[in-house]
Amino acid sequence: MILGEYFQNGRWYDTPPPRIDSTDLGFRQGVTAVERLRTYHGQPFQTDRHLQRWWDTVEALGIASLPSKESFIALFDELIERNRATMAVHGDVGITWLATPGGESRSPTCILQIQSLDHQRHQRWAQSGQPLVITDVTQPPPSSWSRQIKTRCRLHYYLADQQAKRRQPDAAGVLLDGDGSITETSTCNLAILSQGTLCSPPKDRILHGVTQAVVESIAGDLGIGWTLAPITPQQMRDADEVLLMGTDAGVWYAGEVDGCQKHCDHDSVYRRIKAEFDRRVMPAD
C-alpha cells in the first residue's frame, strides 16, 4: 500500500496515487528503471548502494533529463522528512523510486514514494522459513539485457511465482539459467549451505543484491566460507540450509525446497548470520 506524500515529475502530492500514462514507454514496453530500499528502526538501509544501482540502470536504459544525482538525493531526503509522521504510525516502510523515458512528449516520468511492509509475513519467514519451488521458468539471456540492471520487465518472475503458488500459496518460484542451474527468485538472492560453506550463483548470473553484499560481509566476519559457483536444482534440494536475502524481508531462510524440509535451529548458520544482521541494522547510540 502506498503511504503519505509522494513526488512525481517536479511536484509533491498526497492524493491520488501516482500514475503512469498509457502512452508512457514504462507502461507500453516496461522500460522502467526501478529501485527499492527499506528502513530499519526508521533509518534507510544502504541508501548509497541502492542509489548507485539505480543510476547504473538509468544509464543502461538511456533515460535522460532526470534530476541530477545531487538533486535526487535532496528529493530522497525530502520524501523521508515529509513522511516522518506516517512512518511513525506504520513502522518501517519500503521506499521505491522509478524513472521511465516518458510518453509521446518524451519527457521522462520520475516517481518517489513510500509503501507499507508486511511485517507479520516477514517475521513468519524469519522464524519458520518460506517454501521454495524450483520452476522451469528460465531467465532471459544476458544478451537481451544485463542481469545487473533492475527494471520492470519482470514477466519471467511473475510466471515463476504463479507456478510456485499453484503448489503452495506462500511459496516463491526459483528461476533457472540457460544451463539449468538456479539463479534467484522474484524478490531475493539465495545461497546454499553444504559442508559448512555457503555458495551462491556467480555474480554475472543474478541481480547484484544489496542485502546479499551485507550478508557476505557478515559471513566473512563470522569465519563462514562463501564461494560462487553454478548450483544445480538437486544441490539446492540436498543443501543443509538455504539462505534468502532481499530488500523487504532482510535475511530469512527456505523452510522447504520442492517439499524437502529444511530446519534451522538455534546454532544454524542462518541463525548466526540473522542475529548479526539484526545487530548491525540497529541504530547507533
What are 203-219's pLDDT values in tens digits? 999 999 999 999 999 99
**255 lies in the same domain as 205:** yes
User: 194 and 232: one domain?
Assistant: yes
- Can you give the chain as a three-state secondary structure string? CEEEEEEECCEEECCCCCCCCCCCHHHHCCCCEEEEEEEECCEECCHHHHHHHHHHHHHHHCCCCCCCHHHHHHHHHHHHHHCHHHHHHHCCEEEEEEEECCCCCCCCEEEEEEEECCHHHHHHHHHHCEEEEEEEEECCCCCCCCCCCCECCCHHHHHHHHHHHHHCCCCEEEEECCCCCECCCCCCEEEEEECCEEEECCHHHCCCCHHHHHHHHHHHHCCCCEEECCCCHHHHHHCCEEEEEECCCEEEEEEEECCEECCCCCCCHHHHHHHHHHHHCCCCC
What pLDDT shows up at residue 140?
94
Judge if 104 and 140 occupy the same domain.
no
Total domains in the chain come to 2
Nearest by Cα to 57 from 212, 159, 208, 203 = 208
The answer on 273 and 222 residing in a single domain is: yes
Of all residues in the chain, what percent carry a pLDDT higher than 90? 92
Find the CATH number of the domain harbouring 227.
3.20.10.10
Domain boundary among 57, 85, 117: 117
33 and 48 inside one domain: yes
One domain, residues 203 and 254: yes
Q: Are 186 and 245 in a shared domain?
A: yes
Q: Is 131 part of a structural domain of the chain?
A: yes
Mean pLDDT, range 42-67, rounded to an integer:
94
Whether 96 is in a domain gets the answer yes
* pLDDT band of 1, cuts 50, 70, 90: confident
Q: Are residues 13 and 87 in the same domain?
A: yes
Residue-wise pLDDT for 95-122, tens only, equals 999 999 998 777 999 999 999 999 999 9
- What are residue 6's DSSP bridge partners? 13
Shared-domain flag, residues 272 and 131 = yes
Evaluate whether residue 274 is within a structural domain.
yes
Nearest one of 35, 44, 102 to 77, comparing CA atoms = 44
Tell me, yes or no, whether 144 lies in a domain. Answer: yes
Query: What's the CA angle centered on 86, arms 38 and 92, to 5 degrees?
Result: 25
**285 lies in some domain:** no
pLDDT of 171 higher than 80: yes
Could you give the CA distance from residue 106 to residue 112 in angstroms, rounded to a whole number?
19
Average pLDDT, stretch 174-200?
Answer: 97
pLDDT bin (cut points 50, 70, 90) of residue 193 is very high
Q: Which of 117, 148, 171 is the last residue of a domain?
A: 117
Confirm whether 161 is domain-assigned.
Answer: yes
pLDDT in tens, 242-252: 999 999 999 99
pLDDT band for 285, please (50, 70, 90 cuts). Answer: low
Give the model's confidence band at 93: pLDDT under 50 very low, under 70 low, under 90 confident, else very high. very high
Residues 237 and 253 in one domain: yes
Cross-strand pairs, 115: 2, 94
CA–CA gap between residue 144 and residue 150 (Å, rounded): 13
Rounded to an integer, what distance in angstroms lies between the CA atom of residue 197 and that of residue 178?
25
Most confident of 71-75, 139-143, 229-233: 229-233
Residues 127 and 93 in one domain: no
Domain boundary among 73, 98, 117: 117
Please tell me whether residues 99 and 130 are part of one structural domain.
no
Q: Residue 208 domain-assigned?
A: yes
Which range marks the domain in which residue 36 is found?
2-117
Task: Give dist(CA 190, CA 261) in Å, integer.
Answer: 16
Question: 177 burial class (0-12, 13-18, 19+ CB within 10 angstroms)?
Answer: buried
CB 57 within 8 A of CB 150: yes
> For 239-261, what is the mean pLDDT?
97
pTM attached to this predicted model: 0.95
| Inside any domain, residue 254 | yes
CATH number at residue 14: 3.30.470.10
